[in-house]
Amino acid sequence: MSFASLYPRITRTRRIEDLSGVWDFQFDPERRGVAQGWAKGLPDPIEMPVPASFNDIFTDKASREYYGDFWYLRKVFIPGEWQDKELDIRFDAATHRARVFVNGDEIASHEGGFTPFVAHLNGHVRFNDWNTVAVLVNNELTEHTIPCGGTATLRDGTKICAPYFDFFNYSGLNRTVRLLATPKERIEDFAVTTQIVPQADGGSTARVSYTVRTTGTHRVEVHVLDEDGGEVGAALGSAGTIEIASAHLWNLRAAYLYTFRAEIWDEDALVDEWYDEIGLRTVEISHRQILVNGHPVYLKGFGRHEDSPVHGRGTDPVVNHRDFELLKWMGANSFRTSHYPYAEEQLYEADREGFFVIDEVAAVGMLRSTKNFADATTKAQGATFFDDPAVQEKTLPAHLAALEKLIERDKRHASVCAWSLFNEPDFSSEAAVPYAEKVFARAQELDPQKRPRSYTNVTRCRAGIDKCTHLADFMMLNRYDGWYVSGGPRIQDAEQILKEELHTWEKLEPDKPFMFTEYGTDTMAGVHKLPSVMWSEEYQLEFFELQHKIFDSFDWICGEQPWNLCDFQTTEGIMRVDGNRKGAFTRDRQPKAVAFLLRKRWLAKPDYSDGFIPER
């Protein structure tokens, strides 16, 4: 467990300085920077905003496609009044690995581009003075990184990214960087689990078990406040149970959040304080249904991407909020963090808005292909990704480490109702089974709330081919029958292909709920054809109408999340017109015709399959 897992909060004992802004920046293609002392000052820097991906800020192709080492550097003033504090710099993300230097000394490193880490500053800084913080970032991928990919080399020796996934390898300090000052004795981890007990009057009592990890031995108190600020429960000790009578439960599209405040006391002196806003709810699988607080839900929403013009994958609260407004306008109640952990601010907004989030580890690309969108539909020939002993020896530890960081960070979020442990892995070989078993077991071990676990099943591993379905608590299908398979005039064949497969799944997995986590067609906004042709808005409409007809004929399908909310950037290719165009909205967040079709369907389709209407 790591202090980095606690979202930064200003409290009576904690201080934060946001280091967002303009940093010095320089590429280091020959990897000379460490030896030449760039950690103390870059020899030829340019300005670079943080947070942001560096790629789309440039106007030359070589810089946009840069693949290798690159540096960020800035001066940071450390106040003298913080001398008795623990000092850390928290990086919400650095894609895909980073080494941190302070005043020339290397003090931290991190692997993984989508989860936070801290660099501890004590002993390396000058107080009441300016200090130099430098970050050496690298954005290269291999088959043993999470996500997976490779490297291509141009004739002049230039390296370029060859990802095993269909989204652009946006890189840099994509999320916020903060300077943190906390007490020497501090809270470093907090976890809760909830049991709902029905009351005679029809309400509920919530029994909330908690654990607090600190760096000392002084008295720990936990206080629970309702949304009006009134205290509704309290307990002493680093572990315990708090009963909240007549509890307001967190529900889909009807969220309620309690503030849990953990404190350390030395007699009457407050030592440290940290808080989080937490919803009380249960999630379970029963009778081919996903239940929230005992009621079956029907999930409506999208696969998404952290992707917007100019910012790339850089955190943008304006774009993030616009996406939630689009989701609410559509009548959606869910999304998947495809294909990596999203910024924490998005999960907090999902908590507040009552969205069911399927939180996905960045285990994407476990199929050897740089044209995965096409190869994903073709049955594997010969050895697969998981047949390689090096994958078992090297990729698995990286996968488990990424999973640990994800669950450690996101375990308190009410919105996080399920874990996705792989995206479209090639599970057609028995060699995948021991690998997947270890990942599923580790997720169960790490998560105090024991949320449902799954992965997205890829077309090449249709019913009867996938060797790992027994591990999933519910099944998630990514299907493009009518686009990559039997597209255009063959779309009627696509209907029969998918129906036949679903009947096979019905026999193979009779006790599990299924949902569709990807389906869609690339569509150019404004292209209209009568009769329809592929890439036109009319074809997208016909495809979706066909899919929904199929979904509605199987009562064990519990959700639909089209691919994608918005168009997004990918690696260039002859199958991509300035990126992936499967969005219901354009990349600048304007609707295509299919958005109105989905909105009409979802507004008429209840969130809860049993007619339950949650009170807010």
Catalytic residues: 424, 518
Using CA atoms, how far apart are residues 127 and 270, in angstroms rounded to an integer? Answer: 25
SS (H, E, C) 396-410: HHHHHHHHHHHHHHH
Contact call for residues 94 and 82 (beta carbons, < 8 A): no
Using CA atoms, how far apart are residues 387 and 467, in angstroms rounded to an integer? Answer: 13
Nearest to 174 by CA among 100, 111, 92: 92
Structure tokens at 304: 């998404």
Contact call for residues 27 and 70 (beta carbons, < 8 A): yes
Nearest to 454 by CA among 500, 417, 506, 405: 417
Q: What are phi and psi of 345, to 5 degrees?
A: -60, -30
Using CA atoms, how far apart are residues 502 and 614, in angstroms rounded to an integer? Answer: 32
Q: Could you tell me the CA-to-CA distances from 309 to 118, 244, 438, 575 in Å, in that order?
A: 29, 45, 38, 20
Contact call for residues 522 and 536 (beta carbons, < 8 A): no
Q: What are phi and psi of 442, to 5 degrees?
A: -65, -40
Residue 283 identity (one-letter amino acid): V
Nearest to 66 by CA among 77, 58, 74, 75: 58
In the block, tokens 């090096």 appear at 390
SS (H, E, C) 249-310: CCECCECCCEEEEEEEEECCEEEEEEEEEECCCCEEEECCEEEECCEEECEEEEECCCCECC
Nearest to 301 by CA among 266, 345, 336: 336
Neighbours of 429 (CB within 10 A): 18
Q: Please provide the size of the chain in residues.
A: 616
